[in-house]
Each structure stands twice: as C-alpha cells, then as structure tokens.
Amino acid sequence: WAVYAPYVVAINALKKKRGAVILAHNYMTPDIYHGVADYVGDSLQLAIKATEVEEDVIVQCGVHFMAETSKILNPQKIVLMPDMEAGCSLASSITAEGVEQMRAKYPGAPVVTYVNTTADVKAASDICCTSSNAAQIVAAQDSDTVIMTPDQYLAQNVAKQVPGKKIVWWEGSCIVHEQYTAQDLIEFREWNPGTRIIAHPECPPDVVAEADYSGSTSGIISYVENEKPEKAMLVTECSMASNISDALPEVDFVGPCNMCPFMKKITLEKVLYSLHTMTTPVEVDKAVAEKARLAVQRMIDLSK
C-alpha cells in the first residue's frame, strides 16, 4: 500500500475537484477496487449504477464496452476510459453484420446480445443480457428460437437453464474463461477434497457442470460471502479472490486463476492521468447510441 497510497490520495482529491465518480468492475486490482472506486460491481450493476449517478463525469475502471454502455445510458455525461486499449475478446468477436447474418439464418428469432459487445452490435440487437440475467432474458422472449451473441459458452449454459427454448449462438468466447477445462477441476478436487468450486458462466458447459455454483462476478462474491466455505476455488479472473479475501479470513482461496489482459490495462497511474487530463472521453454515434440504448434499457427493465 505504501506504493499505492500517494496515487489513491491524489485520485480521491482530484475526483472531487472534477465532480467525477469512479465505477469499477469486480476484476479491477485491489488498489483500484478498495482504494478509489465509488461503486464496484458486475456488468449489470455497473450499467444500472450508470443510470443513477449524479456526477457529470464517470471514470470507467473496466473495459471499453462498459464505458460505452455508461455513455449510451448517459449521453450528456463525460465518460472517461483510462486506457482505450482495454478491449474484450468477446466484444471483438462480432460486428453488426454478424448479427444480421444470424437474423438471416434464423428469420424471426429475437437477438439477445451479451453486454460484452460494441455499441454497433447492441444497436443491431433486440435486447441485451449480462451473465446475471441471461436465463431470465432468454426465458422472457416470445419465440421458441432465440439467437444469443456472441458468447457460445454463455449460450450453451443458458440452454441448460431454459430447456424450453432452442438457443442458437455466435461462436465467440472469453479468452480468460475458455482456458479452464473440466479435467482441471476434477483433478483439483481430487488433490483438495472439500474445495467449493465456483465458476463464471463464460466457462465451457462441462466446466460449469463440475462447479458447485455458477454466476456473475457479483453472484460469485455473494455466494462466497453467504456460504463461507472452508476452501474456495474461483474459476474466473484472478482479482476476484484478491478483492474479497481480506474480508473473508475464514475462507482459504485455492487453485489457479486466469488474468484478463484487458482489465489489467487499467492501473492507478492511468486513472490519475485520466482525471488530470480528462482523457479519453468515450463517444458513441448518436443514432447508434439511441438504438443501443433501447436494447440495454429493455434488459434493465426486465431485470428489475
């Protein structure tokens, strides 16, 4: 903390001066998560929070699609991204043309698009979803066939939860969660009996099947806080365990984790620079933003 403290103090002072609020995803490193964030959460919670904040400036500590979602919901606010290179393998796996290809292949089927996408892709979709509401959103669609983009594994996991629907999907994946295998989990359980395994639904379905619980990043945190297992393996991004372990000394966080190189582009130094220079403001074309807002707002309304 001695290294981080001067940044934390400077960011918190400058934040007030700029009338800014920091929204941080659960995958941010502990210095950001505990030191400077005003609100932390999963993608759905951050999208909802973006509609509620009163400050004129939002600094998005997360990846680019999250900042775009905040801007789509708050076109009048300044939304700053501390590093514009913080992308996402899911967001870069599909374009609006890809959505149109899926529509042509499955005429009349609604398109449910994961928020991990660009504004163009959201604008081409009927409704968005996040990992915490995907099954609920799919179940609410008035169609037997539902197109899910772009995460093939989230789609396959939802298909198990909503067996009444035929779900078809785009072939995107998360580079962090696709690395886990069911065999890893089976072997880990053998070596560490009694470990509670908790997986994000961006993992392949055979991995999720080996887990004791699967949910969004905030769902994972709530599960561990409520259950307080003796040993927990979080099958997700590495900062998750780091962010909650101090408050849960009774839980032994075990097992390997995977780092998201995009999330890790956001550092305290870049947050300070961003507030100092008011860079980089995220812009979304007005017509695209209006259409994308409909898809995001429909999701928020259905999730209430």
- With a CB cutoff of 8 Å and minimum separation 6, the contacts of 196 are 212, 213, 227, 229, 231, 232, 233
Side-chain-facing half-sphere of 167: CA atoms under 13 Å? 28
Instruction: Name the residue nearer to ligand SF4 (CB basis): 88 or 159.
Output: 88
- Tokens describing residue 228: 């307080």
- Distance (Å, rounded) from C-alpha 34 to C-alpha 254? 22
Does the annotation list 34 as a binding residue?
Answer: no
- Tokens describing residue 44: 């759905």
Mark the segment that binds ligand SF4 (CB under 6 A) among 31-39, 49-57, 163-171, 256-264.
Answer: 256-264
Contact 118, 65 (CB under 8 A): yes
Contact 239, 62 (CB under 8 A): no
Contact code string over 84-123 relative to ligand SF4, x by CB under 6 A: ----xxx-------------------------x-------
Mark the segment that binds ligand SF4 (CB under 6 A) among 130-138, 152-160, 255-263, 271-279.
Answer: 255-263
Does the annotation list 205 as a binding residue?
Answer: no
- Based on its alpha-carbon atoms, the radius of gyration of the chain, rounded to whole angstroms, reads 19
Instruction: Name the residue nearer to ligand SF4 (CB basis): 86 or 224.
Output: 86
Interaction between residue 216 and ligand 13P (CB under 6 A): yes
- Distance (Å, rounded) from C-alpha 18 to C-alpha 58? 10
Contact 234, 220 (CB under 8 A): yes
H or E segment and range at residue 111: strand 111-114
Interaction between residue 210 and ligand 13P (CB under 6 A): no
Binding partner of 83, given ligand 13P, ligand SF4, none, CB within 5-8 angstroms per partner class:
none
Contact code string over 109-128 relative to ligand 13P, x by CB under 6 A: -------x------------
The closest alpha carbon to 210, from 284, 247, 157, belongs to 157
Instruction: Name the residue nearer to ligand SF4 (CB basis): 8 or 59.
Output: 59
- Tokens describing residue 4: 């981080």
- Distance (Å, rounded) from C-alpha 49 to C-alpha 41? 9
**18, 202, 289, 292: which one contacts ligand 13P (CB under 6 A)?**
202
Residue 254 DSSP label: -
Instruction: Name the residue nearer to ligand 13P (CB basis): 42 or 68.
Output: 42
| Owner of token pair 């775009």 | 68
Mark the segment that binds ligand SF4 (CB under 6 A) among 49-57, 136-144, 169-177, 293-301.
Answer: 169-177
- Distance (Å, rounded) from C-alpha 93 to C-alpha 173? 8
**99, 174, 197, 241: which one contacts ligand SF4 (CB under 6 A)?**
174
Binding partner of 216, given ligand 13P, ligand SF4, none, CB within 5-8 angstroms per partner class:
ligand 13P
- Distance (Å, rounded) from C-alpha 187 to C-alpha 204? 17
Binding partner of 175, given ligand 13P, ligand SF4, none, CB within 5-8 angstroms per partner class:
ligand SF4
Please report how close the Cβ of residue 27 comes to ligand SF4 at its closest, in angstroms. 6
Residues 2-61, interacting with ligand SF4 (CB under 6 A): none
Q: Which residues pair with 147 in a beta bridge?
A: 111, 168
Annotated binding site for iminosuccinate: 25, 43, 114-116, 131, 200-202, 217
Contact footprint for ligand 13P (CB under 6 A) = 26, 42-43, 116, 130-131, 174, 200, 202, 216-217
Contact footprint for ligand SF4 (CB under 6 A) = 63, 88-90, 116, 174-176, 202, 237, 260, 262-263
